[in-house]
């Protein structure tokens, strides 16, 4: 299988030009950038691709409306540039991965008259900063128009609304698509392989000690350059290089809850411009549910961070405040937390005011660390990192300049909006299944259809469009080796609806057991791991 092939190469065929540590947005982006310049690249991820922060985002491709407000208030050029760069990258992703992205309209409800011109002017400025890449025109909505766009919105006291546009994307699948595209361009990528130490010679980092997280097998890999893209764990990798060095990260935890779809219409999101502690909050349509987030609390790096009860209550409180609908704890379908790897600014009073910008650091021994940024800007972060790696590690790429501005991401070739209808006609699948497959796999859908045997079209769980063939496909073509790889990131069911995931788990495990020849002990270990994930809130 694909992962085994990758491990064989990683064990026997070095040296590489670059070893990338971390398979989140940042690491997968770096591997793709470097591979498309003709460098020989290895990427290792200690868990699964996007198992960390990169599957736990709000899933918005944005310049950052809140950063724009800070930019205006403080006349801060850095923040303006951040917003502009984000909007440029938003546009590139919408073009390079149309199957995993879409334009989303958002309503901002306003309950005080004086807010109307302020918010409208701000969102017009947001349009202006997008320049030619604008994806829609912001406009004022009357009270009635705001409610018809977002039924359920509290009408009492509502003065008006502002409609604006941003991008929405499937974060976990995007990271996977980046990893698979990097692989297509020659990178060797492996999940469930950890860097457990750095190898040095004459004071320079020349490789790393790797450990297969599933078998504990260890070996070393040589590389001319090592890129630390470990997200919230970058300081731990920096400590392997130089234990005396102070950390550069400030970590902030953000919680989301997923509610029933009655809390968000399918095509429109809601931006709550000011929460009780002065933040913004989103209620977004997401895969047939409503995604509500997020919070911002300082935290430490940890695997699988748990959503705090207090944060969940905070989110529900705000939903109640802005909705005519009653919301109860039992309405929660799933809840999860993610850790923002923000670059530390010792002068910042709280994590919300830290710029989501990125830094690339090259240590005295040549270890490159990329930290900060946001999902939307992963491509630019990767470009800056590889540019610096070429200088810092004296690499000789085939192409010196970045190749990813207009690079098709796996699944995107020939994508058509009406593709789901065409797929339905030629495969006789139900329309919701055809739509789900079209937007999940794009141009790869025919490879998935190869797994459509008699049972393959069967739904994994009633009421969901995910089918059994996807599990077999994930094992053969997407490096899934654990049930949670499939349920949390290839299909995202675990992050959408824990009860549905619980119901689907036995069948997913049975299918994977067939494909991967698991024995009874391994199946039981998978059941235990799934239960742990489900009980802990992913
Ligand atoms: P990660 O995704 O955490 O990846 C780092 C990886 O490194 C992990 O998978 C980890 O397992 C691996 N790793 C660590 N140590 C090792 C080791 N020793 N060996 C091998 N692998 C290792 N951005 C947006 O643009 N839009 C949004 O809407 C948005 N919303 C957000 C909401 C929340 C709540 C949060 C927390 C963030 C949000 N972001 C958003 C920011 C965005 O999600 C992050 O900037 C991005 O995902 C960070 O990616 P990363 O690859 O740096 O980190």
pLDDT at 351: 54
Are the C-beta atoms of residues 244 and 336 closer than 8 Å to each other? Answer: no
The DSSP call for residue 487 is I
Is any ligand 1 atom within 6 A of the Cβ of residue 341? Answer: yes
The arithmetic mean of pLDDT across residues 368-390, rounded, is: 97
pLDDT tens digit sequence for 192-232? 999 999 999 999 999 999 999 999 999 999 999 999 999 99
Q: With a 6 A CB cut-off, is 230 part of the ligand 1 pocket?
A: yes
Q: Report pLDDT for 354.
A: 52
- Mutation probe of ligand 1 site: the residue of 176, 230, 239 with most atoms within 8 A of C-beta: 230
The verdict on pTM exceeding 0.85 is yes
Note the pLDDT tens digit of each residue in 503-527. 999 999 999 999 999 999 999 999 9
Please tell me if the CB atom of residue 397 comes closer than 6 angstroms to any atom of ligand 1. no
| Res 352 pLDDT > 80 | no
**Is residue 424 lining ligand 1, measured as CB closer than 6 Å?**
no
pLDDT surpassing 50 at residue 346: no
Residues 6+ positions from 347 with CB-CB distance below 8 Å: none
Mean pLDDT of the chain: 93
| DSSP sequence for 354-382 | S---EEEEE-TT-EEEEEE--GGGHHHHH
Is there an atom of ligand 1 within 6 Å of 376 CB? yes
Question: What is the structure's pLDDT at 232?
Answer: 98
pLDDT, residue 87, reads 95
Q: Is the pLDDT of residue 347 over 60?
A: no
Each residue's pLDDT tens digit, 127-173:
999 988 889 999 999 999 999 999 989 999 999 999 999 999 999 99
Find which of 93-107, 339-353, 519-533 is predicted with most confidence, using mean pLDDT.
Answer: 93-107
Report CA(25)–ligand 1 centroid distance (Å).
6
Please tell me the least confidently modeled range out of 8-17, 270-279, 376-385: 270-279
Report the atom number in ligand 1 closest to the C-alpha of 340.
36
pLDDT of residue 345: 56
Mean pLDDT over 452-458 rounds to 77
Q: Which percentage of the chain shows pLDDT scores above 90?
A: 84
How confident is the model over 22-29, as a mean pLDDT? 98
pLDDT value at position 537?
64
Point out the least confidently predicted range of 80-84, 180-184, 349-353.
349-353
Classify each residue of 69-84 as buried b or exposed e, where b means 16 or more C-beta atoms within 10 Å of its C-beta. bbbbeeeeeebbebbb
Above 80 in pLDDT, residue 348? Answer: no
Instruction: Return the higher-pLDDT residue of 30 and 64.
Output: 30
The label of the residue with tokens 């912001």 reads: 138
Q: Which atom of ligand 1 is nearest to the CA of 338?
A: 36
Tokens of 271: 């931006």
For 114, residues 6+ apart whose C-beta sits below 8 A from its C-beta are none
Distance 437 CA to ligand 1 centre (A): 26
CA distances to 53, 132, 189 from 22, in Å: 11, 34, 10
Structure tokens at 396: 């000789």
Query: Tens digit of pLDDT for each residue in 470-500?
Result: 999 999 999 999 999 999 999 999 999 999 9
Query: Is residue 349 scored above 60 in pLDDT?
Result: no
443: CA distance to ligand 1 center in Å? 27
Q: Cα(461) to centroid of ligand 1, in Å?
A: 29
């Amino acid at each position: 299988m694909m992962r085994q092939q990758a491990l064989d190469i990683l064990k026997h065929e070095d040296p590489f030009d670059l070893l990338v540590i971390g398979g989140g947005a940042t690491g997968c982006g770096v591997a793709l950038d470097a591979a498309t310049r003709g460098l020989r690249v290895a990427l290792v991820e200690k868990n699964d691709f996007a198992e960390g922060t990169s599957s736990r985002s709000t899933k918005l491709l944005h310049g950052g409306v809140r950063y724009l407000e800070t930019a205006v208030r403080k006349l801060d050029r850095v923040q303006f540039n951040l917003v502009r760069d984000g909007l440029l990258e938003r546009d590139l992703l919408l073009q390079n991965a149309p199957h995993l992205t879409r334009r989303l309209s958002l309503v901002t409800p306003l309950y005080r008259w004086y807010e109307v011109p302020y918010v409208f002017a701000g969102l017009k400025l947001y349009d202006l900063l997008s320049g030619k890449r604008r994806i829609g025109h912001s406009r004022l909505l009357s009270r009635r128009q705001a409610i018809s766009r977002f039924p359920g919105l509290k009408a009492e006291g509502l003065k008006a609304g502002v409609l604006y546009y941003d991008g929405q994307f499937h974060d976990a699948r995007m990271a996977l698509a980046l990893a698979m595209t990097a692989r297509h361009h020659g990178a060797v990528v492996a999940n469930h392989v950890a860097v457990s130490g750095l190898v040095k010679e004459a004071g320079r980092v020349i490789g790393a000690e790797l450990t297969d997280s599933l078998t504990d097998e260890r070996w070393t890999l040589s590389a001319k350059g090592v890129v630390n893209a470990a997200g919230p764990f970058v300081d731990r990798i920096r400590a392997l290089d130089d234990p005396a060095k102070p950390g550069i990260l400030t970590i902030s935890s953000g919680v989301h809850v997923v509610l029933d779809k009655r809390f968000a219409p399918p095509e429109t999101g809601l931006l709550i411009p000011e929460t009780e502690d002065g933040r913004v909050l989103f209620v977004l349509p997401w895969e047939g549910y409503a995604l509500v987030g997020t919070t911002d609390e300082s935290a430490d790096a940890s695997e699988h961070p748990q959503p705090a009860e207090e944060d969940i209550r905070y989110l529900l409180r705000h939903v109640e405040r802005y909705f005519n609908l009653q919301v109860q704890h039992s309405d929660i379908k799933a809840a999860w937390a993610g850790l923002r790897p923000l670059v530390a600014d010792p002068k910042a009073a709280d994590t919300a005011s830290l710029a989501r910008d990125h830094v690339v650091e090259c240590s005295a021994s040549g270890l490159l660390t990329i930290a900060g940024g946001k999902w939307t800007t992963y491509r630019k972060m990767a470009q800056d990192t590889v540019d610096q790696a070429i200088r810092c590690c004296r690499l000789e790429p085939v192409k010196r300049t970045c190749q990813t501005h207009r690079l098709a991401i796996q699944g995107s070739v020939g994508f058509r909006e009406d593709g789901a209808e065409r797929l339905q006609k030629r495969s006789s699948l139900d329309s919701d299944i055809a739509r789900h497959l079209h937007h999940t796999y794009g141009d790869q859908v025919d490879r998935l259809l190869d797994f459509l045997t008699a049972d393959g079209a069967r739904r994994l769980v009633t009421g969901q469009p995910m089918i059994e063939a996807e599990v077999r496909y994930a094992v053969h073509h997407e490096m899934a080796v654990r049930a949670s790889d499939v349920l949390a990131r290839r299909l995202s069911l675990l992050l959408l609806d824990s009860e549905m995931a619980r119901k689907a788990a036995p069948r997913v495990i049975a299918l994977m057991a067939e494909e991967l020849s698991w024995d009874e002990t391994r199946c039981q270990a998978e059941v235990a791991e799934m239960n742990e994930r489900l009980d802990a809130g992913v």
